[in-house]
């Protein structure tokens, strides 16, 4: 399925859009990490929780559970909040 990557993570993927597979968000993120080693840790912490500055959207709806079921036709959007001065 199509996954939109935030610009702060382009150094992993080389661009804004990638393809990944998974029947849940957790499996999709594991597939992303297989393709782009280290990217999952930038989004998911050591306790398998979503990092506070990361948001996942599936079909325009925010997802807060890694067990969220996905369909092959879904589009996943990853948003990363940025801060600074």
CATH of the domain at 70: 3.10.20.30
Determine, yes or no, domain membership for 29.
yes
In a domain, 85, yes or no: no
Q: Which of 29 and 82 is assigned the larger pLDDT?
A: 29
CA distance to 15, 67, 68, 70, per residue, from 8 (Å): 10, 25, 24, 24
Q: Domain range for residue 27?
A: 2-80
| CA 63 and chain centroid, separation | 11
Q: How many structural domains is the chain composed of?
A: 1
Instruction: Decide if 44 is inside a domain.
Output: yes
Please tell me the pTM assigned to this model: 0.92
Q: What tens digit of pLDDT does each residue of 28-76 get?
A: 999 999 999 999 999 999 999 999 999 999 999 999 999 999 999 999 9
Task: For residue 28, give Cα distances in angstroms to 50, 54, 73, 74, 76.
Answer: 14, 15, 13, 11, 9
The DSSP bridge pattern shows strands 17-19 and 61-63 to be unpaired
**Is residue 50 one of the residues assigned to a domain?**
yes
**pLDDT for 25 beyond 80:** yes
């Amino acid at each position: 399925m199509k996954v939109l990557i935030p610009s702060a993570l382009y150094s992993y993927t080389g661009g804004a859009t990638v393809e990944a597979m998974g029947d849940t968000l957790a499996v999709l993120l594991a597939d992303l990490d297989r393709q782009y080693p280290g990217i999952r840790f930038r989004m998911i912490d050591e306790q398998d929780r979503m990092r506070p500055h990361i948001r996942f959207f599936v079909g325009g709806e925010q997802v807060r559970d890694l067990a969220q079921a996905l369909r092959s036709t879904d589009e996943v959007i990853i948003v990363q909040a940025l801060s600074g001065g």
